[in-house]
Amino acid sequence: MTKYRNIFLNILFLLYIIFGSYLSLVNGISHDQFHEQLNWEINLQAVKGIIFNDGKYEVLLNYMDRYHGIAFHYISQPIQFLIHGMVERLGETSLEGSVYLSRHAAVFFVFSISGYFFYLLCLKISKDKNFSLVCVTLFLLYPYFFGHSQINGKDIPFLSVWIISTYFLFDLIEKFYNEQKIDIKTVFLISFSTAFLISIRITGVLILLEYLIALIILLNTKNKNSLSFLNENKIFFLLFSISLIFFVYILNPIFWLNPLEFINSIKWMGKYYHDVCTLTLGSCMKALNLPTSYIFIWLFFKLPILILIGLAIFPLIEKKIFNNGVTTIYYGTLALSTLLLLFIFILKNVALYDEIRHIMFLIPAIFIISLYNLYLFNKKFFIFSSIFVIIFFVVENISLKKFQYTWLNSFAKFTDIQKNFEIDYMGVSNRNLQNQIEKYSLKNNISKSTCVYGNNYANVFLQKKGFSCFKTYSSLDSAKQRPLFAYQNARNIKRSDPKDCKLIFTDKYNYFFYDKDIITGKLWFCS
């Protein structure tokens, strides 16, 4: 029976990967896609510059995102190479657009794989396959993650590799706890995954704090002296340090000619030079001057209510957690590292924008902590409430169409979501808006030489249809020639409508049990 159950679950997981990958290919293209591809091209140019000594390496040194390495590109670029031709032929986009969309498939694939490791993390902490299965189902169907996994080529790979690295950490801690011999494979896996994480985003060095916390809790649990422990395992720590440095160096071309650039990358961490405004409870909160409440507001409205309940009942199950062997170490590591990192982000006033996508890598740990609390509190309540939430997630994912990543919990539905929260900040609506431009042009016999004012990075859908004149929306006021099209996504529709123009399309979606349309974009024709 177990055999058939496992086969069935594997088939479901495979279908999830296939279906999600398809959705990623028919989704919109976010603002960041251009920059992610540019990052690869500049790093590639720098590598060629080193090999041929032609001075092009300097381009990387002057690049704003120079400390974003190329680790994830080793996964995304082969996938892009293999499928972008098919995407271009079957889709509605140019060659450039097909490359961006193909990267989406790579992102979703990596996220799906991280789901398997998330399952293993839940299994380590609970020793219960049913609990772990419920956990990973909630994780994979959580609309916020499901939506981002189709479009977000920065934060989702980072979150995914953080999960994988945490699993390798727990595997290592288990061996330390049981006083087993640490083999080369274990050293290689945790050092490589850590370096991979750092290469995606330099913020990945913060996972070393998680490692340190795990070791401290381990030593306290086992009543071991830290110096004697280090001496007993000096070979492991030496090999880990050497291999970590080696992999970090290899995966970041910015360090190749000057390894000391790593110090500069640490100084650069958490800095952002554009004071982006994020609409938060009706207020425009600037990235460079965030109030302490910013993170907590967004966590309150972004986390599922079931997860909030699970966190709240911690005092009721505290005694069941502690003095529970290696499980205590796992739980304590997740809880303390999450709290410490949140404290660091707040204390250092790190520039955050687009709600909490930059710290979404902390949410999987919050999920595990909360769900395990519920599991210990009452298993029947955990099962029935989780099944209800899973069904609710499926309904919400369908109702939100391509905008699952903007998901807010039911508490937000008691407010005016449009006026209080940032909506389509990634610009996914650009695809729908551009499709409407083509339809309107055909219906009204408008020339494809007509200029389109909007997001220049996302005009790949119109390029395929023969449009060639693209300008930024900010230059609309100085436009000297009409007719023209103008469009804005949700982040910018707070601006005034263009003068003497006709609104021809409004992109929107509906929340389940919410009676107002959420507007994600607007399209005008200026005759």
Per-residue model confidence as pLDDT tens digits over 100-154: 999 999 999 999 999 999 999 999 999 999 999 999 999 999 999 999 999 999 9
pLDDT at position 404 is 95
Residue ranges of the chain whose pLDDT lies below 70: 1, 270-274, 456-458, 492-495
Residues 130 and 214 in one domain: yes
Residues 355 and 435 in one domain: no
pLDDT at position 480 is 81
Structural domains in the chain (count):
2
Q: Domain residues for 124?
A: 12-287+294-377
pLDDT at position 157 is 96
Check: CB of residue 437 under 8 Å from CB of residue 68: no
Strands 502-510 and 277-280: unpaired
Residues 47 and 184 in one domain: yes
Residues 298 and 233 in one domain: yes
In a domain, 392, yes or no: no
CA distance 474 to 481: 15
Check: CB of residue 140 under 8 Å from CB of residue 389: no
pLDDT at position 460 is 85
Over the stretch 245-261, which tens digit does the pLDDT of each residue have? Answer: 999 999 998 888 888 88
Angle at 103 between CA 101 and CA 105, to 5 degrees: 80
CA distance 249 to 255: 6
pLDDT at position 31 is 76
Residues 102 and 205 in one domain: yes
In a domain, 402, yes or no: no
In a domain, 400, yes or no: no
pLDDT at position 36 is 86
Residues 110 and 232 in one domain: yes
pLDDT at position 305 is 97
CA distance 201 to 195: 10
Domain's final residue, options 312, 342, 377:
377
Domain's final residue, options 357, 377, 397:
377
In a domain, 397, yes or no: no
Maximum Cα–Cα distance across the chain = 81
In a domain, 298, yes or no: yes
In a domain, 261, yes or no: yes
Domain's final residue, options 334, 350, 377:
377
Residues 367 and 436 in one domain: no
pLDDT at position 476 is 85
In a domain, 415, yes or no: no
Angle at 406 between CA 106 and CA 383, to 5 degrees: 85
CA distance 214 to 175: 13
Check: CB of residue 455 under 8 Å from CB of residue 477: no
Residues 107 and 254 in one domain: yes
CA distance 297 to 280: 8
Residues 481 and 372 in one domain: no
Residues 82 and 193 in one domain: yes
pLDDT at position 30 is 82
Residues 191 and 329 in one domain: yes
pLDDT at position 273 is 63
In a domain, 421, yes or no: no
Residues 74 and 172 in one domain: yes
pLDDT at position 261 is 83
